[in-house]
Structure formats: C-alpha cells, structure tokens
Amino acid sequence: MEPASILDLIKEFGLPLVLLLGALYALYRFMVFALYEVKKEFSNRHETNAKKMEEVKIGLAEIKSDMKVLVEFLKEFKTKIK
C-alpha cells in the first residue's frame, strides 16, 4: 500500500478508525501465527508421547512375560516341596 493511499484513508475516515483497522489486522496475523505454531508444537509432542507410550507397552509386555515365568516357577517349586 502506498503512503499516499494511507493518507487518503486517514483524511477520509479519521486516524482512530485507520489505527483500529491496523491493530485488528496485526491481531489477526498474530492469532494465525500463534495457532499454526501451537498446532506444530502439539503435533511434535504428540509424536514424542506416542513413541514413549510404545516403549512403555513393550516394557509392560516384558514384565508380564517375566511374571508368568516367575508364577510358573513358584508353582513348580511349591509342588516339589509338598
């Protein structure tokens, strides 16, 4: 936008209205930027948490397997004692 056209707008509508429109535009641009950044950050955190959850599931499966082996060992030990 040329400076002359901005001055014409100020003459026609007044300085407060032009400043209000400029502030609204700046707020709009900030909100769009903020939303995109939040979405990107949330997406990155979601991927990281999904990977960590997979590791937890694998660890839990290993613990369950170990627990089954331990229970079987205790059952056999108990029957040998009797």
Which pLDDT band, with edges at 50, 70 and 90, does 71 fall under? Answer: very high
* 17-48 pLDDT per residue, tens: 888 988 999 999 999 998 888 888 888 899 99
Return d(Cα 6, Cα 29) in angstroms, integer.
Answer: 20
Q: What stretch of H or E contains 27?
A: helix 15-81
